[in-house]
Amino acid sequence: MKQEAFETRYRDTWDRYEDCLQALRKSRRAGARTTAQTNRETTGETTGQTMGREFPALYRQICHHLALTRARRYSAGLEQRLSRLALDGHQHLYRTRLPFVTAFLRFFARDFPQAFRRHWRFTLAAHLVFYLPAVGMATGVLLKPDLIYSMISPADVASLESMYDPENRRLGRERQADTDLMMFGFYIYNNISIGFQTFAGGLLFGVGSVFYLVFNGIYLGAVAAHLTAAGFVETFYTFVIAHGAFELTAIAIFGAAGLKLGYSAIVPGRKRRWHAIRDAALQALPLVYGGTFMLLVAAFVEAFWSSTSWPPAGVKYAVGAVLWAFVYAYLLLPGRDES
Amino acid sequence: MLLDSTHNIATPEGIELRLPVAGLAARSLAWLIDAIIKFLGFFVAAIALQFLGTAGSGLFLIGLFAMFWLYNVLFEVFAGGATPGKKAMGLKVMNSNGTPVGWSGSVIRNLLRAVDVLPGCYLLGFLSVFFSARFQRLGDLAAGTIVVHRLPERLVAVRDDSKPLPLNVPLAIDEQQALLSFAERAGGINDDRVAELAELLDPIIPGVDAEQLKRHAHWLAGVGR
């Protein structure tokens, strides 16, 4: 068949297919809420539905025509048009779709804690890589106080001290609401960026993740020990205990995701290296999403609860303890009955 | 097969989708456009949030975070795989199996951007694009995504009403195809170049000119039969 005849014969099919695709896209964008409504109101089918039934057959026809066009060496222009149509159809037909709300709820109820436990080797390793240097550094600073200056500049140490000095607290007023909001923004920007970098650094054979974990661990240990030694125990620990439950755990979780990535790069097993990395990244993703959410919570708690100075120390410790217990109960318990 | 930058995907329907993978230049320009847009965004936001004082700087930091980490993801997921910069350059992100990029693909490729920028100026990313077969940076490789040129919206085969002219010289099938494509594209090229291209055929079809060639093409395509 000559090209002209081919085009004349099938032009209507191609136009119909394009209309169909456009209608389907539009009805998808309009969303499920309208389809449900129109269903009930009109007994017949909506155009979207008829098009939806017609579409797969049309798509197969387009593919067939594209194959013919290539085999018969019709012109490049026709080939390009049909390629375009086929690609659009392919993208429509084979896209992944998941109702967002269901997926979202299921993620928190099950997927995230399950991922935390499924990758327990990495979550455990990340906890160790994070907390061991912290404990080591804290011990070091307690024994030899000058050690902190190897980590933090004297000026920064001084500003840390003044932040947690009980003298200042007594004189200082309750922080203003807008300052709370500013700090909220800062915690989100700073902490979540660090979390993401901890994950991404895993791609460098895990080195980046280990670096961030160790660095943050040492920093944490140094500051905690120094302020303890300085006698600012109450002001410091009442401040950090509550949001620490979310923040520190989240950093460890991002570290675990990064370690998983790095491990797959080092030990791809029977897969090709990039294939292994791709699979690992996909599996680590729940940890990243969960970690992000935990850092959001941490930023909120830190900005609007930790900073308050009106609750008595006992209340702050109690709330902190409950939050720590909650975080680990949440990570260790839900979704055990299903695989 | 020609040596080119096409990424081929075999679909269940037995056809092959041929996607032109985007190279460094187009992607860098797209990045630059996005960078300018983000910069303008910061600028406007910074001015507007001045009026909110301390609280404003908190919101600004949240905005900064979103610009850094979410800008690409949101555009790629909700705007058909392209940030404004990519759209302007006619690029699009998709999974390497040709399906639209989803949340996981986009999140992974954009979080791992933090590694591509290392040790500065996207050096690792550049190297990765140079050495990977489909011009993927590290984030793309880990996410299984590719950046391709959008296929042309519709290449209209404009056939004027010049009469088909039978061709007595036997042409091989791909020569016929070349002739058909020539007739199709002639409208979009300037006349001198069209004449120049037509002259190439002089040894095969003596004394042929562009107008005649188009008529031959129409005959090949079977116009008016």
Chain B CB contacts of A277 under 8 Å are: 141-142
Which residue, among A179, A2, A318, has the nearest Cα to B225 in the 3D structure? A2
**Domain identity same for A34 and A110:** no
CB of B152 within 8 Å of any CB in chain A?
Answer: yes
Residues of A in contact with B90 (CB under 8 A): none
- Amino acid sitting at position B48: A
Write the DSSP string, B3-50.
Answer: -S-EEEEE-TTS-EEEEEB--HHHHHHHHHHHHHHHHHHHHHHHHHHH
Same domain? A55 vs A196:
no
- Of the candidates B101, B124, B149, which is a domain's last residue? B149
Chain A with chain B: Cβ pairs closer than 8 A: 172
Residues from chain A that touch B76, judged by Cβ atoms under 8 A, are: none
Question: A330 near A109, Cβ under 8 Å?
Answer: no
Determine, yes or no, domain membership for B1: no
Residue A339 lies in a domain: no
The domain total for chain B is 2
* Chain A residues near residue B107 by CB distance under 8 angstroms: 285, 288-289
The verdict on a CB contact (< 8 Å) between A189 and B107 is no
Cα separation values, B184 from A76, A85, A92, A318, B214, Å: 8, 19, 29, 78, 9
Q: In this structure, are A111 and A66 located in the same domain? A: no
Please tell me whether residues A306 and A205 are part of one structural domain: yes
A146 and A67 co-located in one domain: no
Domain termination residue (choose one: B132, B149, B166):
B149
A188/B65 touch (CB, cutoff 8 Å), yes or no = yes
Residue A133 lies in a domain: yes
Q: Do A74 and B154 touch (CB under 8 A)?
A: no
Residues A243 and A108 grouped into a single domain: yes
Verify that A167 and A41 share a domain, yes or no: no
Q: Chain B contacts of A179, Cβ < 8 Å?
A: 54
**pLDDT band with cut points at 50, 70 and 90 for residue A258:** very high
Option in A83, A281, A288 nearest B143 (CB): A281
Distance from C-alpha of A100 to C-alpha of A103, rounded to nearest angstrom:
5
Please name the member of B65, B99, B218 whose beta carbon is closest to the beta carbon of A94. B99
Regarding whether B159 and B136 lie in a shared domain, the answer is: no
Interface check B183 vs A, CB under 8 A? yes
pLDDT digits (tens, 9 = 90+) for B24-77: 999 999 999 999 999 998 889 888 888 887 778 888 888 888 888 899 999 999
- Is position B60 within any domain? yes
Contact B180 A75 (CB under 8 A): yes
CA-nearest residue of chain A to B98? A91
Is A338 within a domain? no
A53 and A172 assigned to the same domain: no
Which of A65, A97, A129 is the endpoint of a domain? A97
Q: Is the pLDDT of residue A69 over 80?
A: yes
Q: Which residues of A275-311 are buried (b: 16+ CB within 10 A; e: fewer)?
A: ebbbbbbebbbbbbbbbbbbbbbbbbbbbbbbbebee
B59 and B168 inside one domain:
no
B127 inside 8 A of chain A by CB? no
pLDDT digits (tens, 9 = 90+) for A78-98: 888 899 999 999 988 888 776
Report whether pLDDT(A190) > 60: yes
Which pLDDT belongs to residue A163?
A: 79
The predicted-structure confidence for B101-154, as pLDDT tens digits, reads as follows: 988 899 999 999 999 998 888 999 999 999 988 899 999 999 999 999 988 765
Nearest residue in chain A measured CA to CA from B140? A278
pLDDT greater than 80 at residue B155: no
Asked if residue A247 and residue A129 are part of one domain, the reply reads yes
Q: Does B173 touch chain A (CB under 8 A)?
A: yes
Complex ipTM tops 0.85: no
Based on the domain organization, do A108 and A77 belong to the same domain? Answer: no
Q: Which pLDDT band, with edges at 50, 70 and 90, does A45 fall under?
A: low
Residue A11 lies in a domain: yes
Co-location of B17 and B112 in the same domain: yes
pLDDT surpassing 50 at residue A173? no
At residue A34, the pLDDT reads: 47
> What is the rounded distance in angstroms from the CA atom of residue A288 to the CA atom of residue B47?
33
Residues of A in contact with B183 (CB under 8 A): 75
The last residue of one of the domains, among A45, A77, A97, is A97
Tell whether the torsion through CA atoms of A329, A282, B110 and B150 is positive or negative: negative
The answer to whether residues B123 and B160 belong to one domain is no
Which one has a higher pLDDT value, B167 or A252? A252
Q: How far is B145 from chain A (nearest CA, A)?
A: 10
Pick the range with the lowest mean pLDDT from A235-239, A281-285, B36-40, B211-215.
Answer: B211-215
- pLDDT digit string (tens) for B82-108? 999 999 999 999 999 889 998 889 999
Asked whether residue A72 is domain-assigned, the answer is: yes
Q: How far apart are CA B174 and CA B183, in angstroms?
A: 14
Please check whether residues B128 and B221 belong to one and the same domain.
Answer: no
Provide the residue range defining the domain that includes A30.
3-97
Residue B7 forms beta bridges with which residues?
B19
Give me the amino acid identity at B143: A
A84, closest residue in chain B (CA to CA): B151
Asked whether residue A337 is assigned to any structural domain, the reply reads: no
Residue finishing a domain among B93, B124, B149: B149
Domains of chain A: total: 2
Confidence of residue A168 (pLDDT cuts 50, 70, 90): low
Are B112 and B144 in the same domain? yes
The answer to whether A66 touches A82, Cβ cutoff 8 Å, is: yes
A59 plus A110 within the same structural domain: no
Q: What is the pTM of this model?
A: 0.81
Answer whether residue B190 is part of any domain.
yes
Q: Is the pLDDT of residue A33 over 50?
A: no
Does residue A43 or residue A197 have the better pLDDT? A197
| Omega prior to B119 cis, within 30 of 0 | yes
One domain for residues B124 and B175: no
Domain end, chosen from A66, A97, A128, is at A97
Kindly state the helix (H) or strand (E) to which residue A38 belongs, with its residue range.
Answer: helix A32-41
Same domain, B60 and B159: no
Domain of residue B196, residue span: 154-225
A27-31, A153-157, B194-198: least confident range: A27-31
